[in-house]
């Protein structure tokens, strides 16, 4: 696989997002199957694995540690802090955003144990806790760098302004935000800011949470989401918004056929062609999809195909917000007017 810079590291152009091994979409994989998938990804040339304390409230980090710790020298390990779970009423965990230095340190120590490693290569602030100055949170991460517990600092879902404030405290190796054909917000400012600062841009949900890969071909598929599927709360997968988005999906499949690849590969190749500092991290629990996703690094798109893709899927043709109102207030990224 072609290599790209992820801060100080050189990694395969397409990494693996490890959220949906145990969190967010459908039923999680059984642990042995998840571990086999992680090892298969490594054998396919994936060298960038991205997880977080939040994913399964530690379950994803535990899986990654158990499967990949024996091969630690072969890959770059990324995880996240600042958004985790606390035990609420009835013993049920609920998600909290906490960017206090003491919370960041605690989460890092817990992550190191789960990941079975002495150091995390890239450690992100998962969300900016607006009750804590970004300088304080990044200062805590910088102290972890100084102590050798992490090697580089990242931020997730932040604006260009917040990135610049953070970068003034300590170099930010990577920004991770949602970016795909149907979520173009990073094009407002943060992509350019990353390029100017020498910061990598890691694109999560590069397949539109499965929509761009054809995983939701009709309304019935959306209605069949399990109760805990995050997409149940996302406007783009509901009612009139979903109906509108389904209208252009066959044309996207036709463009993929013309390009000689799958729709998922087309969406990933589009990202890779946009700029050399963009690194997509599709997630999957399916071995065949894993193989297809990694092979997308070899897909070549003409300027004409890029233009036709962007004419088909863009702000005007995509219906619905990417998050519901309650989640949107937690996000620092720029929004289109």
- Catalytic residue numbers read 55
Would strands 16-17 and 9-12 be described as parallel, antiparallel, or unpaired? unpaired
Virtual torsion, Cα 19, 24, 26, 30, nearest 10 deg = 40
Q: Residue 92 in 3-state DSSP?
A: coil
- CA 81 – CA 336 distance, rounded (Å): 28
- CA 34 – CA 197 distance, rounded (Å): 36
Euclidean distance between the first and the last CA atom of the chain, given in angstroms as a whole number: 38
- Per the CB < 8 A criterion, the answer to whether 39 and 65 are in contact is no
User: In the chain, where do the E strands start and end?
Assistant: 3-6, 9-12, 16-17, 48-50, 76-81, 83-87, 93-97, 120-125, 150-156, 172-178, 200-204, 278-280
Virtual torsion, Cα 241, 305, 45, 64, nearest 10 deg = -10
E strand or H helix at 167: helix 160-169
Taking CA atoms, 84 is separated from 104, 145, 171, 199, 239, in Å, by 10, 21, 24, 25, 31
With a CB cutoff of 8 Å and minimum separation 6, the contacts of 328 are 321
Nearest residue to 13 via CA among 54, 44, 35: 44
Evaluate the CA torsion angle 217, 221, 222, 223 in order and state its sign. positive
């Amino acid at each position: 696989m072609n290599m790209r810079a992820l801060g100080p590291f050189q990694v395969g152009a397409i990494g693996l997002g490890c959220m949906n091994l145990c969190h967010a979409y459908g039923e999680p994989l059984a642990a042995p199957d998840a571990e086999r998938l992680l090892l298969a990804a490594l054998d396919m040339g994936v060298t960038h694995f991205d997880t977080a304390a939040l994913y399964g409230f530690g379950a994803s980090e535990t899986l990654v540690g158990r499967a990949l710790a024996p091969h630690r020298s072969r890959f770059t390990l990324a995880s996240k802090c600042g958004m985790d779970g606390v035990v609420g009423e009835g013993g049920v965990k609920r998600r909290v955003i906490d960017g206090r230095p003491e919370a960041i340190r605690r989460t890092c120590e817990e992550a190191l144990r789960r990941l079975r490693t002495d150091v995390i290569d890239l450690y992100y602030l998962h969300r900016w806790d607006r009750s804590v100055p970004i300088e304080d949170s990044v200062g805590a991460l910088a102290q972890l760098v100084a102590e050798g517990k992490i090697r580089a600092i990242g931020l997730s879902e932040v604006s260009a302004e917040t990135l610049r404030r953070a970068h003034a405290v300590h170099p930010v190796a990577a920004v991770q935000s949602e970016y795909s054909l149907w979520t173009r917000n990073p094009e407002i400012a943060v992509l350019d800011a990353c390029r100017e600062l020498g910061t990598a841009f890691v694109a999560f949900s590069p397949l539109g949470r499965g929509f761009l890969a054809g995983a939701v071909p009709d309304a019935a598929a959306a209605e069949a989401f399990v109760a805990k599927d995050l997409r149940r709360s996302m406007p783009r997968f509901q009612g009139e918004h979903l109906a509108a988005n389904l209208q252009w999906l066959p044309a996207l499949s036709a463009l993929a056929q013309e390009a000689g690849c799958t729709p998922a590969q087309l969406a990933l190749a589009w990202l890779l062609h946009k700029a050399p500092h963009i690194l997509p991290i599709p997630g999957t629990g399916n071995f065949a999809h894993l193989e297809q996703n990694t092979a997308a690094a070899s897909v070549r798109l003409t300027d004409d195909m890029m233009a036709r893709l962007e004419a088909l899927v863009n702000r005007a043709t995509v219906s619905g917000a990417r998050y519901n109102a309650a989640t949107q207030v937690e996000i620092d990224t720029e929004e289109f007017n």
